Amino acid sequence: MGSSKEQMHQNGLKVSFACPNADCEGHFEEEVQNASFDWGSERQSDGIGYAETSVECEICEDTFTVAVLATQTGKEVTLKGLTVADLEYIDDTFEHDYDEFLADYEPQDPFGVYTRSSKELDDLYYGSEILPRVQAPFNKMLYLQHIIAMEAYLSDRLIDIITTDSTKLLTLIGSTPSLRDRPTRLIEVAKDPDYVASTTKAHLQRFSFHDLANVAKFYKSVLNIDLFETDEHRKTLLAIIETRHDLVHRNGRDRNGNETVIDGPAVERVKEIFQGLIERIEDAYTKYKVSCFFQVLDT
């Protein structure tokens, strides 16, 4: 199944796992040859990408083969001939291109974008005839896409606020140690009048907005809203993020090696939970904009 597409994406996949040998304490942190599905192929079977990389344990010196299989339903990373429950991977194939994209990215109306994305996912879910054998990966894809849409909204709404309101920008910086305590050279500030805003924007664009515990702190400081309504709500949201981690980094298995099952009701449930969260944020945002309007009238 080797083809030119393997060479195009042979770098960029980082894997992490413990040595499979029971009596060995070795741990792998490796970058292995990547593979990608070729969406331009006439037949799906021709588009499948596959790559293997041999890695050696520094402790026991045994050699293992990391296999990467890319199909139309996603990417699977395994140790050839072995089952490893804790294998995780990060696919940064397009990391450099993404950095360039973020530098010039200006969010459109975040709520409108989210609403459109949610509707498109509904159209895909209710309007597609899916073969029974691919229903499970299809559900997982939709589940992840709902999470991705939520993350994009959280990021874009926050960036929209702090790039248009210097007071909110200062509030966010003051409540975020990684921004507040950032070492800064005066020459950088002198060269760029927008240094503070652009640096904060870049920080948020690189931040993982599925880290809801810290995202909650951002929104508390900027919109004075509690992302988690109750302890139960907090547990529910964090459980969804844990499922995301299992699907993205553990080949759809939890820490114990059990397969994560996503059915239709689970897809509906995650959509409803995120819609409720985002509607609450939009209510807080509307109140904030109204207060800004009256402040202008009073000046």
Given a contact cutoff of 8 angstroms between Cβ atoms, the answer to whether 34 and 19 are in contact is no
Region for residue 193 given its phi and psi (left: phi exceeds 0; alpha: psi -120 to 50; beta: otherwise): alpha
Asked whether the predicted pLDDT for residue 294 surpasses 50, the reply is yes
Phi, psi of 174 (to 5 degrees): -65, -25
List, in sequence order, every beta strand (DSSP E) within 19-124. 27-32, 49-56, 63-71, 74-79, 88-91
Region for residue 74 given its phi and psi (left: phi exceeds 0; alpha: psi -120 to 50; beta: otherwise): left
Q: DSSP states of 255-278 as a string? A: TTSPBPP--HHHHHHHHHHHHHHH
Question: What does the domain layout of the chain look like in residue ranges?
Answer: 4-93, 106-298
More confident residue, 11 or 50: 50
Q: pTM value?
A: 0.66
Mean pLDDT of 148-172: 95
* 119-124 CB contacts, 8 Å cutoff, 24+ apart: 121/145, 121/146, 121/149, 121/271, 122/271
Given a contact cutoff of 8 angstroms between Cβ atoms, the answer to whether 110 and 160 are in contact is yes
More confident residue, 131 or 151: 151
Mean pLDDT of 167-172: 96
**What pLDDT, on the 0 to 100 scale, is given for residue 3?**
33
Under DSSP, the state recorded for 127 is H
Given a contact cutoff of 8 angstroms between Cβ atoms, the answer to whether 140 and 180 are in contact is no
Selection from 52, 54, 75, 76 nearest residue 63 by Cα: 54
Region for residue 251 given its phi and psi (left: phi exceeds 0; alpha: psi -120 to 50; beta: otherwise): left
Asked whether the predicted pLDDT for residue 1 surpasses 60, the reply is no
Q: Which of 53-57, 66-70, 108-112, 228-232 has the highest mean pLDDT?
A: 228-232
User: Hey, is 3 helix, strand or coil?
Assistant: coil
Tell me which residue has tokens 């509904």: 122
Q: DSSP states of 151-196 as a string? A: HHHHHHHHHHHHTT-HHHHHHHHHH-HHHHT----HHHHHH-TTHH
Distance between CA atoms of residues 92 and 95, nearest Å = 5
Distance between CA atoms of residues 123 and 132, nearest Å = 18
CA distances from 217 to 70, 225, 238 (A): 37, 9, 15
Distance between CA atoms of residues 285 and 294, nearest Å = 15
